[in-house]
Chains A and B, each alone.
Chain A
Amino acid sequence: MDLLVGQLLTGLSTGSILLLAALGLSLTFGQMGVVNMAHGEFIMAGCYTAYVVQQVVGDAGVSLLIALPIGFLVGGAMGLVLEALLLRRLYHRPLDTLLVTFGVGLVLQQAARDVFGAPAVNVSVPEALRGGVDLLGTTVPRTRLFIMALAVLAVTAVALVLRFTPAGRRIRAVTGNRDLAETAGISSRRVDAATFFIGSGLAGVAGVALTLIGSTSPTTGQSYLVDAFLVVVAGGLGRIKGAVVAAVALGALQAVFETYSTASLAKVGVFVVIVVFLQLRPQGLFTLRTRSLA
């Protein structure tokens, strides 16, 4: 029983990390069809933002709070630049965006190595978030509770923005039917840029938060990227709700596999489960425009 509760909690916390990493992707990939392999490096940029802010501010708690919005802006700005310089001309070539952004990721990684050095740097955890809380028989580190809360907050914020702001409504309109939205006078250009800003900004926020539990090094982003993509694939196209469910499910799955076999086999197991899942629910993954197949 305790073990089960523990796994559930672990699943939730792993899932919330996955979700933070995947939420921005779900927007840019799900809603725009852009496969941004540099998303991991945007997360990495968020990590280094936290590091730099902490070097300047000193106090770990204050710097974390400052770094979160700055991380959003840093990630968002990088996303905007990427969108404006490269992706804009590639919207009809999703596979090419994948490769181009992979190249961008390589460059960003090497740039981080040259600027900050290859060794991991240390971002201190604020005093208030150190230690753990005893919950239902297991100890959950406060940092993980913080990340869970942040994930919930981020999802809520994205949902609210999409639902209630004019910009969000435009994003949803373009997602639903790009051509129709354009005839209705919505500039899909600007909406794309806005979507990308928000999606990439979320990567920056994720990066800041992930310094609490992981390392901050030039390769940090990579370790989250593949899992994040799997979340988006399993969650379904452009569905924030799907991403939430998929992240938590994959997190729990990973935890269960890890307990009963090895962590290595757990990774393989998760992959197999996703392929099988695709067999059962492929319709969650693609939408077919029937009027035109071009």
Chain B
Amino acid sequence: MPLRPTPEVRGLARALAASAALAGLLATAACGARAGEETVATESCVDTSGDTVKVGSLNSLSGTMAISETTVRDAIALAVAEVNAAGGVQGKQIEIVAEDGASEPTVFAEKAEKLIREDCVAAVFGGWTSASRKAMLPVFEDNDSLLYYPVQYEGLEASENIFYTGATTNQQIIPALDYLAETGVESLYLVGSDYVFPRTANAIINAYAEAHGIEVLGEDYVTLGSTEFSTIVNQVKSADADAVFNTLNGDSNVAFFREYANVGLTAADMPVMSVSIAEEEVGGIGVENIEGQLAAWNYYQTVESPANTAFVEAFKAEYGAERVTSDPMEAAYNSVHLWAATVEKAGSFAVADVQAAADGVSFDSPEGTVVIDGDNHHVTKTARIGEIAADGLLYTVWESDGPIEPDPFLEGYDWAADLAVTE
């Protein structure tokens, strides 16, 4: 504070006007392309002249999502090490530039831009939440670069610049419904966290239910991270549906399953089909609270295949015997191998060449052979229903007849016609 009245700055209004004018002047002087005009494309700065080529690994290492995404980071690192051990890509060793998305969409966008523009990576692997993917999408499109996204998601998206190696809805949710219908389920109760994936999933479930004569007895959402389930579980109990379809996320699952078990509901009376509970989450919920419940994924650690045996062994050798492998980890692991195979096929690291060569590229992955669909940039995947066993692992109780073609906009399902508009 001034100790005595100081001379007045009479022209503060003028100062304001001056800075505004200055900003305006510079802004207009610096005008770029307007809507509809051709933009000067940003030149890719990827350097392929040396012995190495860089790729980005962008995962949340801090914040609420770190728990899940660090596992994906490990899987990416494992795959890169394997590719390097096998002689690299186009004879070049791959070097990982790791970044922290900090569980915030804006940070994902910022770091993606840094990886592309400052580190000049040939491709980026990572992302988990849909929010982080949506935040990164324009960055990859504007800078014409590539993202490999490894998590099952709500579908309804297909970007030239993203390869989706996790399941879309017709590879996870619809098979789960098929399975429930096969086992005689005639009524469902839907419980989910309040965000895009559960809402989209439940829209699909409602449409499916209507077409297949299944009654939906209730649909409840809780805020992300909520741990108060007494009202909802009581409503579930009194609704007495044949099964519950659970799209809750994170810690909410812990509170939900504890409450569920405590009011006396069991997998035998009212099974819960979950789409976000993998090997990693079972420990926190407590096996005794969730034993016998169902999950829908494409991969479990217990899948029996030579490729998976090798994957699990390699992973445990690298990161410790107590670690488990899960679906998103496997999809991330696949994504690195798929990228490497595509680059080999294209004979080039250039984005356009990779995009052009992608169709039909395949990899013998732990879950079975996956093949890239060049039209929508998703991959074929085998759907599996798993049951949670006393050892905390999930065991396949049902699997689809071979890999399912990806259909992110559900164009192949008549009952889904009203759900989404094709882009």
Chain A interfacial positions (CB closer than 8 Å to B): 6-7, 10, 13-14, 17, 113, 118-125, 130-132, 138-144, 212-217, 219-220, 223, 254-255, 258-259, 262-264, 267
What chain B residues lie within 8 Å of A216 (beta carbons)?
284
Counting CB contacts under 8 A, is B314 at the interface? no
Contact across chains for B284 and A122 when beta carbons are under 8 A apart: yes
Collect the chain A residues with CB atoms within 8 Å of residue B227's CB.
Answer: 213-215, 223
Check B285 against A213 for contact (C-beta < 8 Å). no
- Minimum CB–CB distance for A197 against chain B, Å: 27
Of B225, B231, B288, chain A has the most CB atoms within 10 Å of the CB of B231
- With a CB–CB cut-off of 8 A, which chain B residues contact A214? 227, 251, 254-255, 258
Q: A130-B261, A141-B263, A215-B255 are in contact. Are A6 and B234 (CB under 8 A)?
A: yes
- Pick from A120, A141, A143: contact of B254, CB below 8 A: A120
With the chains together, A276 CA to B39 CA distance in Å?
53
Tell me the minimal C-beta distance from A118 to chain B in angstroms: 4
Q: Assess A14 versus B230: contact at CB under 8 Å? Given A122-B283, A264-B221.
A: yes
Residues in A with CB closer than 8 Å to B23 are none
A interface secondary structure, majority? mixed
A119/B230 in contact, CB under 8 A: no
Which of A10, A123, A131, A215 lies in contact with B231, CB distance below 8 A?
A10
Interface 0/1 of B239-280, CB less than 8 Å to A: 000000000000100110011011110000000000000001
Question: What are 28 A-B contacts defined by CB distance under 8 Å?
Answer: A10-B231, A10-B234, A13-B230, A17-B228, A120-B251, A120-B281, A120-B283, A121-B284, A125-B262, A130-B262, A138-B234, A138-B238, A139-B264, A141-B259, A141-B262, A143-B258, A212-B258, A214-B254, A215-B227, A215-B254, A217-B251, A219-B64, A219-B225, A223-B226, A255-B230, A258-B232, A262-B220, A264-B194
Interface residues of B in 282-324 (CB under 8 A from A): 283-289
Report yes or no: A124 in contact with B288, Cβ–Cβ below 8 A.
yes
Bound complex: CA A263 to CA B195 (Å): 12
A118 touches B66 (CB 8 A): yes
Does the CB pair B225–A118 fall under 8 Å? no
B residues with a Cβ closer than 8 A to A are 64, 66-67, 70, 194, 220-223, 225-228, 230-232, 234-235, 237-238, 251, 254-255, 258-259, 261-264, 280-281, 283-289
B281 CB contacts on chain A under 8 angstroms:
119-120
Given A131-B264, A139-B264, A213-B259 in contact, is the A263-B223 Cβ separation under 8 Å? Answer: yes
Residues of B within 8 A of A142 (CB): 262
Whether B258 contacts A119 by the Cβ 8 Å rule is no
Q: Kindly report which residue of chain B lies nearest to residue A12, judged by CB atoms.
A: B230
* Whole-angstrom distance between the Cβ of A109 and the nearest chain B Cβ: 11
